C-alpha cells in the first residue's frame, strides 16, 4: 500500500520508473565508451584510421585524440535526449520507451563504430 507521500514523490520526479533503467543503460554505455577510449588512447599508435571508408589513404588517418569523438557524441546525445525526454514525459509511456529505445540503439551503433576502429588497429 502506497502512502500519499510516496505517491506525491513519484509524481514530482521528472523520470517515470518505467524508463529509469533504459536511461541508466544509456549513461552506462557512455561511461563504457569513455573508459575504453581512455584506455585505448594510451595503447594506440599516433594515428588511427578513423575515416577508414574514405578512398585515399592519407585522408583515412587522424590523430588518436579523435578517438574521444565517440564518448563526446554519446555525452551530447544523452544530454540532448534527456532535455527532449523531460519535455515528452507528459505523453504516453509507449512514446517514452520508444524514444529511449532509439537513444540506446544509437548508442550501440556508436559503440560498434568505436570497437571497429579499435579492432582494425590491433
pTM of the model as a whole:
0.76
The whole-number pLDDT of residue 118 equals 84
Inter-axis angle of helices 93-121 and 20-43, to 10 degrees?
10
Could you tell me how far CA 5 lies from the centroid of its own chain? 34
The whole-number pLDDT of residue 13 equals 54
The whole-number pLDDT of residue 23 equals 85
Cβ contacts of 7 within 8 Å, gap of 6 or more: none
The whole-number pLDDT of residue 36 equals 93
Q: Which residues pair with 48 in a beta bridge?
A: 62
Phi, psi of 48 (to 5 degrees): -120, 150
Give the total residue count for the chain: 122
Q: For residue 48, give the H/E element and its range.
A: strand 47-48
Q: Each residue's pLDDT tens digit in the chain (122 positions)?
A: 555 555 555 454 566 677 788 888 999 999 999 999 999 989 888 887 777 676 676 677 778 888 899 999 999 999 998 888 777 777 777 778 888 888 899 999 999 988 988 888 77
The whole-number pLDDT of residue 65 equals 87
- For the chain, what are the domain ranges? 17-121
The whole-number pLDDT of residue 5 equals 54
Amino acid at each position: 500500500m502506497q502512502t500519499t507521500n510516496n505517491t506525491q514523490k513519484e509524481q514530482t520526479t521528472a523520470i517515470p520508473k518505467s524508463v529509469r533503467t533504459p536511461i541508466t543503460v544509456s549513461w552506462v554505455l557512455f561511461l563504457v565508451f569513455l573508459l575504453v577510449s581512455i584506455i585505448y588512447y594510451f595503447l594506440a599508435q599516433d594515428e588511427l584510421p578513423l575515416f577508414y571508408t574514405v578512398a585515399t589513404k592519407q585522408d583515412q588517418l587522424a590523430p588518436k585524440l579523435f578517438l574521444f569523438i565517440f564518448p563526446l557524441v554519446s555525452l551530447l546525445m544523452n544530454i540532448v535526449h534527456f532535455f527532449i525526454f523531460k519535455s515528452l514525459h507528459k505523453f504516453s509511456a509507449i512514446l517514452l520507451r520508444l524514444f529511449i529505445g532509439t537513444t540506446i540503439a544509437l548508442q550501440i551503433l556508436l559503440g560498434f563504430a568505436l570497437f571497429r576502429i579499435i579492432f582494425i588497429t590491433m
